[in-house]
Structure formats: C-alpha cells, structure tokens
Structure 1
Amino acid sequence: MKKISNLVVCAMMAMVLVSCQGNQQPESQGAAATTNVPDGGQSTVQDDESQKDVVKVAAASADHTTLVAAVKAAELVDVLSNAGPFTVFAPTNAAFDKLPAGTVEGLLKPEAKADLQNILQYHVYVGGIKTEQMQDGQVLGQANGDNITLSVKDGVVTVNGTAKIIASVPASNGIVHVIDAVLLPPAKK
C-alpha cells in the first residue's frame, strides 16, 4: 500500500513539473509578443464598446472641431484620455469664432504650443463636478494653476461671468460642459 501511495505522489509531481514546463514560453516568442504593442498613449487604445472619454466626446461633436484641433496641436490628447476624472469646459466652434481674427490660427502654430497648452488647461478641472453640484461663487483650481469662478443664477451656470454652460455630457473619465465662450487665463505677473 505504501508503494502505491509513493507511486501516486511521484506521478502527481511529474504531472506538475510537466504542466509547469508547458506554460513557459521560449524567450524569442515572448519578445515577439511585445513588438506587437502599438505606439502611443492611452488615446491609441481601440474601444468601441465603453463610454467615450472626454476627448472622444468632443471629437464626436461637430460643434467642437476647433477645440479638438487645438487639443491635438497642444499634444494633450493622451493626458485627457487617461482615467481622470476631468471636468472639461469645452468651447464650441462659435465660441472660438468670437476671438479676434487670427487668434486661433496663431495659437495652432508650433511656436505657440506653450500658450495653447496654458489656455486649454485653463478649461480643465481635475475632478468631476456636475452642474447640480456647482454653487454660486465657487472657485475651482484649473489644471494650469489658475482659478475660475462659477456663478449660478436661476439654474444657469456661468464661468468667469462670460461663458454659459449650455449642455453637459458625461464621459467615462469625467464630464464635458459645453460653453459658449473661450476662457482666457489671467495674465501672468
């Protein structure tokens, strides 16, 4: 009986060893697998089933083509595609059209990238805040280090006294508040 149990134990150990060796991949096979990883950041992940992130929400809107072009030129797509949460105050194309002639074109030039990043980051609050959570006089610290002030009157939310929130769209990594004016950060001292 003892010989049979020893034989069973030996057979089980042999099976474990064989199964462990079978799970190992040759080094060349493992290296080949890593070469198939796409270049780029979070924005390159293909996902047609989950809720859209803040960048994809804006990209899906015909009213935000200027904003999307600016986010791409400022190289902020990957940052805004990350987990967040982000609250994005997203000016419409019409809001950008209100700026002095040539402003948008000038900001889209490579040499103006730092200025464009500063302006776009002034439109982003790191954290999720819905309109029903906003309070009159509330101050939010924006991603560029400056503050915005919210005004709430009769259910209408205004940012810095100039930009009205005209719609809000939830996203997988935050919320997009559509606004009717471009927010310009205060001049640096």
Structure 2
Amino acid sequence: MKKLFYLPALFLALAINSCGGQASEIMSATSDSQGQGQSAVEDDDSNSNVVQVAVGSPDHTILVSSLKSADYVNVLTNVGPFTVFAPTNAAFDALPAGILDDLTKPENQRKLRNILEYHVLLGVYKHESFINGRNLGTADGRSVSVIVAEDGSVSINGAKIIATVAASNGIIHVIDQVLLPN
C-alpha cells in the first residue's frame, strides 16, 4: 500500500522539478492577464459576442465607451445568453446636456452601470418573442415594458427597436433612445 502512495508523489515531484523556471513564467503570465476576464481572450475564429459586435459598429461608439467606463465589458463578453438593447450614438446625443459626461465620471461608475444593466435581459428574446404589454426583468432587477404595434414594430419603454443583430452570446436590438430607469 505504501508503494502506491509514493508512486504518485514521485511523479508529482518529477513534474514540478522538470518545469524548472517555467512554472514561475507561467504564473507570471497568468497574473498579467488576471482581472481582464473574458474580454482579454483573443479569438478571431468564433462568432462575435455582443461587445465585439458593438465595437465593430460606428453607430455605437458611445455605448462601447460607456461599457468601458462602467467596467461592464467583461460581463457582456461572457457566455450569456443576453438580450441587449443598444442605443445608437444619436440616442445618447439626445440626452439632456451634461448627463452622459456626469455619468462617465469615476465616482458615478455604479450609476452608469445600473443604467447599462437596465438595457440587458438574461436570455435571448428574438423579435417574435416580444408580447404586447409584457414586462421583462432586466439585469439590474427592474423591468421594462414591451409594446408591439399593429404593424409589428416593437418598442421597449418607448424606445423603438430599429435593427436586430445576432451574436455568439445573445442578441442585440438596436434602439433609438437610451432607457432610463424611473
């Protein structure tokens, strides 16, 4: 019985010894990327996640900047699935003067993140999944209201969905207004 115990210990000791200086190099490389989360993973072969789609859109530069300011990029690059209501730059520009500048200050990071979480649903809600009058729970614990017009167009709290894009970890509905919680 003692021989069986010593054999795995011997293999472990040999493995550690054979690594030599590589073990510290591996730990160093791991700690350099630590804290960056899923967004630090480089993958040019897979379909784009919701953040990568937004980064590639010239109409969503303010949204991407806001995601970075709120430290919300890593969350939305994870597996999901997510439904993201993505306001356009024009939607952000329509906010009263100074609001966005104020929200992107470091001391208001939590407020900005709450607003961004108000734009996220857990799960995938395709256009045909929206039911008129239904309330859907957002990532910040609140809810948004769905209105489906007779022509089939969908609005979320009055913000009209103007385009939809699939992503590897969910779906993005481009909207024409910023959703502000009450």
Which whole-Å deviations, capped at 9, do the CAs of 1:66-119 have from their partners, x for residues lacking one?
111100000001111111101000000000111101111111111111110111
Q: Which runs of 5+ in 2 are unaligned?
A: 1-10
Give the whole-Å Cα distance in 2 for the aligned partners of 1:30 and 1:138: 54
Of structures 1 and 2, the larger Rg is shown by 1
Would you say how many aligned residue pairs link Structure 1 and Structure 2?
Answer: 168
Match for 1:168 among 160, 164, 170? 164
Q: Residue type of the partner of 1:69?
A: S
Give the whole-Å Cα distance in 1 for the aligned partners of 2:61 and 2:26: 37
Matched, 1:52 2:45: no
Match for 2:15 among 17, 24, 40? 24
Q: Residue type of the partner of 1:172?
A: S
Give the whole-Å Cα distance in 2 for the aligned partners of 1:30 and 1:73: 35
Give the whole-Å Cα distance in 1 for the aligned partners of 2:68 and 2:109: 10
Paired residue for 1:5?
A: none
Give the whole-Å Cα distance in 2 for the aligned partners of 1:25 and 1:132: 56
Match for 2:124 among 102, 121, 128? 128
The SS at the match of 1:52 is: coil
Give the whole-Å Cα distance in 1 for the aligned partners of 2:25 and 2:64: 35
Give the whole-Å Cα distance in 2 for the aligned partners of 1:163 and 1:73: 23
The SS at the match of 1:36 is: helix
Shift of 1:182: 0.5
Give the whole-Å Cα distance in 1 for the aligned partners of 2:177 and 2:167: 21
Shift of 1:25: 4.9
Give the whole-Å Cα distance in 2 for the aligned partners of 1:117 and 1:33: 34
Match for 1:155 among 152, 157, 181? 152
Shift of 1:32: 2.5
Bigger drift between 170-179 and 24-33 goes to 24-33
Matched, 1:106 2:92: no
Shift of 1:139: 1.1
Paired residue for 1:74?
A: 70
Q: Identity rate of aligned residues, in percent?
A: 52
Which whole-Å deviations, capped at 9, do the CAs of 1:102-142 have from their partners, x for residues lacking one?
11111111111111011110000011111111111121100
Paired residue for 2:134?
A: 138
User: Over aligned residue pairs, what C-alpha RMSD do you find?
Assistant: 2.0
Paired residue for 2:91?
A: 95
